Amino acid sequence: MTQRILLALAALFAIAGTAHASSDVLWGIVNEKCVPGQRDRGQPNPCVKVDLNKGYAIIKDVVGDAQYLLIPTAKNSGIDDPAVLARNTPNYFALAWQERHFMADIVKRDPPRDTISLAVNSVYGRTQTQLHIAIDCVAIGLREKVAAHIAAIGDQWARFPVRLNGQHYQAMRVSGETLDGVNPFLLVADGLPNARNSMDRRTIVVVGATLPNGAPGFVVLEAEANVASGYYGTGEELQDHSCAVATQ
């Protein structure tokens, strides 16, 4: 989450009448406004949805044209939190994909799956200490590169054939209409060397795709932050908050 988005959220939170440290803005909104509103009055505002049974909230990003955020209703610091790898934790990526219709409502059409992406940043590329998965349009360049190289992406981790935004990403593809039974957090932790012990440095981006055999699927992308070289693990940069792809 960028500083601009953080400032806008802080303004929203101030209007809501509560004050918290800036890194807790999202958690404060969900925990003190959305959840009580849904629980007590059936009104999740300022969130658009709170599912108390599955443990997540959806809120419209205050800056992006069509971006929404999925946020757990339990305290969860982010990709570094051990809870994301716990077997009893909800599959937040699957839930985020399920809720992509909110984004579609904004762009006034049913966007093709390869225009939709989910992203979570590393510890070094975020401003909030509450897990949030960004549901947004892919950048046009990323869509084109995935389409061009989809045949070269296998079902095991390997380096994506070209740089994305100047960075090397690891990539793998998975089949299926949804992400039910496929948890990208676990794909990274269990499939990449030493990843389980360095999840704080990882960023994950999931892009909807049509596989070479015509079946629906996804491309999962991962990169590791390297602060010394100036890369902070901000996979969200592969999304387009202006959603230009929706006009293609």
- Nearest to residue 50, comparing CAs of 23, 27, 71, 24? 71
Please state the rounded mean pLDDT for residues 3-19.
46
| pLDDT at res. 9 | 53
Please state the rounded mean pLDDT for residues 54-58.
98
Q: How far apart are CA 132 and CA 5, in angstroms?
A: 13
Find out whether 231 and 167 touch, Cβ atoms under 8 Å.
yes
**pTM value?**
0.91
Fold of 3-247: HIT family, subunit A (3.30.428)
Q: How far apart are CA 80 and CA 24, in angstroms?
A: 16
- Nearest to residue 67, comparing CAs of 5, 143, 114, 125? 5
| pLDDT at res. 187 | 98
pLDDT confidence band for 108 (50 / 70 / 90) = confident
| pLDDT at res. 34 | 98
In this predicted structure, the answer to whether residue 20 has a pLDDT above a threshold of 60 is no
pLDDT confidence band for 107 (50 / 70 / 90) = confident
Alpha carbon 67 to its chain centroid, in Å, reads 10
In this predicted structure, the answer to whether residue 78 has a pLDDT above a threshold of 90 is yes
Extents of the domains making up the chain: 3-247
The burial of 15, by beta-carbon neighbours within 10 Å (0-12 exposed, 13-18 middle, 19 or more buried), is given as exposed
